[in-house]
Each structure stands twice: as C-alpha cells, then as structure tokens.
Amino acid sequence: MTRGRSGNGMRPAERPLDETASAPRFFVMVGGPGAGKGTQAQRLAVALDVPHVSSGDLFRAALESGSPLGSEARRFMDRGALVPDELTVRMVAQRLDDPDARRGAILDGFPRTVPQARALDRLLDRRGAGVEAALYIDVAPDELLRRLSGRWICRGPEQHVYHERSRPPLRAGICDIDGTKLRQRADDRPATIRTRLAEQLPPMYEVVDHYTDSGLLVAVPGEDTVEAVTSSLLGAIGKHGERPAPVPGMRA
C-alpha cells in the first residue's frame, strides 16, 4: 500500500518549498527497546526529508520542561513501563499539528500498542493521510540488552546515538557530529532495562501482528551493521513508494 506517496516523481531535495504541495509520507518504526529505532529514524528522516518524531524524546522534553505531562509520564518511564495510551496519543497528536509534520514523519516508538495504532490511523485520516509502511527492526532480546547497556547519547538537540563497543565516538565522551558531551539515559540502568523488555516486548509483538494483518509491515533483520539496516529499510521503502535519496553527510 502506498498511501501518501508523492505522485510528482521528484526526489525530496527537489521538492518545492510549499510544504502543502506534495502528499505527506508517514512511516512508523517498530522494534523492542534498543532495537535501533532512533538510530535508523534519524537516518531515514534525512533521506526522506520528513521530521523524526520520537515519543520517548517528546516525553523526555516534557519532563525537562517541568510540565504536568512530563511528571505524569515520569512515574511510568522511571520503572520501565509504558505510559498510558491516552496521554501518549494526546502528546503525539499535538506534535503532528506542528507545521513541519505536514510533510509527514518518521514516527519512532509510536505506536507501541494496538489502541495507539488505531488512534494513529484516526489522527492521520483526519489529515487525509495514512501510514505508508510499518518498519519492523527485528532484534533478539539478548542483543537488545547488550545495546541498551552500552548506549551513550549526545546532549545536542538531535541527540545523536553511540554505543561503547559497536559505535564508539571518535573522541571518548564527545559527539562526533555536534561536539556536545555524551550521557547515559536514566532508564538504561540494568534493572530498568529488564523491566522495559519484560513489559514492552509483548505489546510490541501485538503491534507487529496488527501491521502484518493490515499488509503494512516491512520486517528487516536488525542485527546487521547500522548501515546495512538503513539500506534494507530504504530498499524496502523504495519498493513501497518512490526511490529514496541517499543519506548525505551521515557518519558510517
């Protein structure tokens, strides 16, 4: 199904500045905690020229701003549980109202439950759009544990992601791209990681089944290199819609 694809045959970089000129493209990234959704979403957003919308980042921003939504979400995030659907859908709906999301979005970490997937369909339907493909990054639970426990993230606005073994920065503790210091996430403590996997994998598999049933699921093996996973995803999206542009300026 290729709802939402641009019908003008132009590549993203050649699109006119008028954001309403081409139909929006919405993709959802599905995968367990640490599967590489954020890493891949950053790269796909560049390639497809649409914003990267991460529900986890939105919650963390709400938390840092001291908003009531942030404090409510914290109660769940700190123990590795999912935030209730109603709160999550409301927050993502607000983000999709921003002007840049008229072009579409790579939704990272949302939907995480079948009710969220249904709510997303309604939200997009009101905008005359739909999910073009659900991109499932398939990674075994043991590897998820390894990835989360070695993850480091930069303090810059784009929060570039590293791994102490598989993707170390060139200078220890410093982001290669924007030079900010790297930090570890509060929920990447071993006990919280175990709860995240136990509580969040079962609903994630239900979301995979949901998109399989609706014919939108694109599953790629997620245990290859970052670059190989990006190629698989871009190749799969190419089959669903127009051929995407190459990823410029991303470090291999």
Q: Measured from the CB of residue 9, what is the shortest distance to ligand AP5 in angstroms?
A: 32
Which residue's CB atom is positioned nearest to ligand AP5? 56
Q: Where are the strands (E) in 164-249, listed by range?
A: 182-183, 217-221
Q: Measured from the CB of residue 24, what is the shortest distance to ligand AP5 in angstroms?
A: 20
Residue 164: partners with Cβ closer than 8 Å, 6 or more residues away: 150, 151, 152
Using rule CB under 6 A, residue 226 touches ligand AP5:
yes
Using rule CB under 6 A, residue 71 touches ligand AP5:
no
Using rule CB under 6 A, residue 53 touches ligand AP5:
no
Q: Measured from the CB of residue 121, what is the shortest distance to ligand AP5 in angstroms?
A: 15
Pairing type for strands 131-138 and 161-163 reads: unpaired
Q: Which stretch binds ligand AP5 (CB under 6 A): 7-15, 105-113, 124-132, 210-218?
A: 105-113
Vertex 219 angle, CA 213 and 220, to 5°: 180
Using rule CB under 6 A, residue 241 touches ligand AP5:
no
Using rule CB under 6 A, residue 27 touches ligand AP5:
no
Nearer to ligand AP5, 130 or 150 (CB): 150
Residue 184: partners with Cβ closer than 8 Å, 6 or more residues away: 151, 152, 153
Using rule CB under 6 A, residue 26 touches ligand AP5:
no
Using rule CB under 6 A, residue 37 touches ligand AP5:
yes
Q: How many chain residues touch ligand AP5 (CB under 6 A)?
A: 36
Please count the other Cβ atoms lying within 10 Å of the Cβ belonging to residue 202: 10
Query: Bridge-partner residues for 106, per DSSP?
Result: 27, 52
**Contacting residue, 6, 22, 39, 232, with ligand AP5 by CB under 6 A:** 39
Show the tokens assigned to 49.
């020229």
Tracing tokens 């929060």 back to the chain, one arrives at: 159
Distance CA 86, CA 105 (A): 21
Nearer to ligand AP5, 81 or 174 (CB): 81
Half-sphere exposure of 223 (CA within 13 A, CB side): 9
Q: Which residues are catalytic?
A: 37, 112, 151, 185, 196
What are the helix (H) ranges across 13-167?
37-48, 55-64, 68-77, 85-96, 114-126, 141-149
CA end-to-end span of the chain: 31
Site for ligand AP5 in 200-219 (CB under 6 A): none
Contacts with ligand AP5, residue ranges (CB under 6 A)? 31, 33-39, 55-56, 59, 76-77, 80-83, 88, 109-110, 112, 116, 147-148, 150-151, 161-163, 166-167, 187, 196, 225-226, 229
